[in-house]
Amino acid sequence: MDYKKTNAPTTTVTRDVMTLADETGNIYESVAIIAKRANQISAEMKHELNQKLQEFASASDSLEEVFENSEQIEISRYYEKLPKPTLLATEEFLEGRVYFRVPQQGDAADEEM
C-alpha cells in the first residue's frame, strides 16, 4: 500500500465523534473497527519496514564494524514521516473504504455453544 498517496493528516486532528458513529450507529463500535484496522495497517507497515531494512543487515556482530548506512537512515526517516496507522484507519473509515460486518445473533457459531 502506498501510504504517501492517502489524504490522511500526519498530525493529530480533532474530530467530531458523532461523525464516526454515522456509519455504525454506535461510537464504540466505530472506534473498535478503526482500532482493528489500525492494528492491521501497523503490522503491514512494520513488515514492509523490516523487509527493507533486512537488505542492510550485516552477518557479523562485531562492534568495530558498526557504521552508519545513509540509505537505511533515509528509509527510517521516510517511515517516521508517514501518517500514523490510527490516522490512516480513521481516514479509511470516514471514506467508507473499510469493510466490516456484524455477526447476527443465532449464527452457527452461537448455536454451537
Taken in order 99, 50, 78, 16, the sign of the CA dihedral is positive
pLDDT at 111 over 60: no
Report the C-alpha gap between 95 and 20 in whole angstroms.
11
2-28: pLDDT as tens digits? 666 777 777 777 888 888 889 899 999
Report the C-alpha gap between 70 and 45 in whole angstroms.
20
Q: What is the pTM of this model?
A: 0.76
Q: 27-54 vs 70-81: helix axis angle to the nearest 10?
A: 170
- Of 105, 101, 93, the residue nearest 38 (C-alpha): 93
59-87: pLDDT as tens digits? 655 554 455 677 888 888 888 888 999 99
- Calculate mean pLDDT across residues 39-67: 77
